[in-house]
Amino acid sequence: MKLSGKIFSGVLLLAYVTVSFIPLSNCAKKNDFSAYDQLCSSKKEVANLLRFKYAAEDFDANSKQIFFRPVLLDSTLIGISQKEGNYFLRAQVNTGGSIKCFAELKCSKVIADLYCRTKSNFAYIAAKITRIDNLSLVAEADSLDGKSVQINLGKSILLGGECLALAEIPTSLNAD
């Protein structure tokens, strides 16, 4: 009885170890996509869809040939406002460089409602740019002695125009 119990325990242990390695080998398959890879792929698909639908080019802060052409802005949404019955979407454009770029774009009620339903503040914006303003931002701060101090915040670009579409980028992609 003891010998058959040891054999049974050994077979059971061997079966357990073998079955345990099967899920691990599935994790190591080279064709599997990680969740991050799937999100990156999804982000690229959204960008490509907007590029195709609006014949949009990626925004280049150094290009002067973006007027009245659809461009794709990778942006961080700041807010939306309503002036004289029109909606304006405000965003910081992620240029990846040292240039600070912002956009204030006229948009439809549909896009304004879509903005209100976004869960993050990261989005692609398809837009037609009609105005580029070079700004020198200066902040004024009061000190305890009552004197006013001006702080130069650097040069920035403000884009104006029309928002054609808004597509949210999943939040977890922007952690890098």
At residue 149's C-alpha, the angle toward residues 146 and 155, to 5°, is 160
Residue range(s) defining the domain that contains residue 58: 33-175
Confidence of residue 51 (pLDDT cuts 50, 70, 90): very high
pTM of this prediction? 0.69
- Tell me the pLDDT tens digit for each residue of 77-116: 999 999 999 999 999 999 877 778 999 999 999 999 999 9
Per-residue pLDDT at 67 exceeds 70 = yes
Assigned domain for 125 exists: yes
pLDDT of residue 56: 93
Q: Give Cα separations from 80 to 83, 117, 149 (angstroms).
A: 10, 12, 30
Q: Which two tokens stand for residue 103?
A: 């956009």
Assigned domain for 15 exists: no
Structural domains of the chain, count: 1
Assigned domain for 100 exists: yes
Assigned domain for 9 exists: no
Over residues 41-46, mean pLDDT: 82
Confidence of residue 156 (pLDDT cuts 50, 70, 90): confident
Assigned domain for 20 exists: no
Assigned domain for 6 exists: no
Mean pLDDT value across the chain: 80
CB atoms within 10 A of CB 100: 17
Closest CA to 134 of 153, 105, 156, 152: 156
- Tell me the pLDDT tens digit for each residue of 120-137: 889 999 999 999 888 877
Strand locations in the chain (E): 57-58, 70-83, 86-93, 100-107, 122-142, 148-168
Assigned domain for 113 exists: yes
Over residues 153-176, mean pLDDT: 79
CATH assignment of the domain containing 100: 2.40.50.140
